[in-house]
Amino acid sequence: MTAPPKPNSDVVMDKNKNLKDYEKVIGECVKCGVCQAHCPAYLASRREGAVARGKIALAAALLGGEVDLEKRLQEDIGMCLMCGSCVGKCPGKVPTNEIVGAIRRQITDNGGLSLLGKGVSTLLGSPALMKTFGKGGAIFSPVVLKKVPEASGLRLRFPMSVMPDRTFPKIPFRNLFDRVKEFYQGSADKPVVGFFAGCAITYVYPEIGEHMVTILRRMGYSVFIPRGQQCCGIPALSSGNGGLVGELAEANVTAFGKRAVQHIVTACGSCNGGIGEYYKTMKTDFGDFTGKVVDFSVFLKNAGLFQDLAAMEKWPERTKVTYHDPCHLKTQGITREPRELLKALPNVDFVEMEHASSCCGLGGTFSVTHYECSKAIGAKKVPGLRESGASQIATACPGCIMQLQDIVNHAGMKVKAVHILELLARSMLR
Per-residue confidence (pLDDT) for residue 122, from 0 to 100: 86
- Closest-CA residue to 40 (of 361, 383, 324): 361
Maximum pairwise Cα distance, the chain: 86
Tell me what the mean pLDDT of segment 410-427 comes to.
95
Domains of the chain: 9-112 (1.10.1060.10), 176-302 (3.40.50), 306-428 (3.40.50)
- The interaxial angle of helices 115-124 and 127-144, nearest 10 deg, is 120
| Count of positions (residues) in the chain | 430
Mean predicted lDDT score pLDDT of the chain: 89
User: Which residue, 177, 184, 176, 178, is CA-closest to 259?
Assistant: 184
The letter for the amino acid at 311 is: A
Which three-class secondary structure string do you get for 331-397? CCCCCHHHHHHHHHCCCEEECCCCCCCCCCCCCCCHHHHCHHHHHHHHHCCHHHHHHHCCCEEEECC
pLDDT digits (tens, 9 = 90+) for 257-289: 999 999 999 999 999 999 999 999 999 988 799
348 C-beta neighbours (distance < 10 Å), count: 24
Instruction: Return the SS3 of 264.
Output: strand
**pLDDT-based confidence at residue 10 (cuts at 50, 70, 90):** very low
Q: For residue range 297-308, what is the model confidence (pLDDT) as tens digits?
A: 999 999 999 999
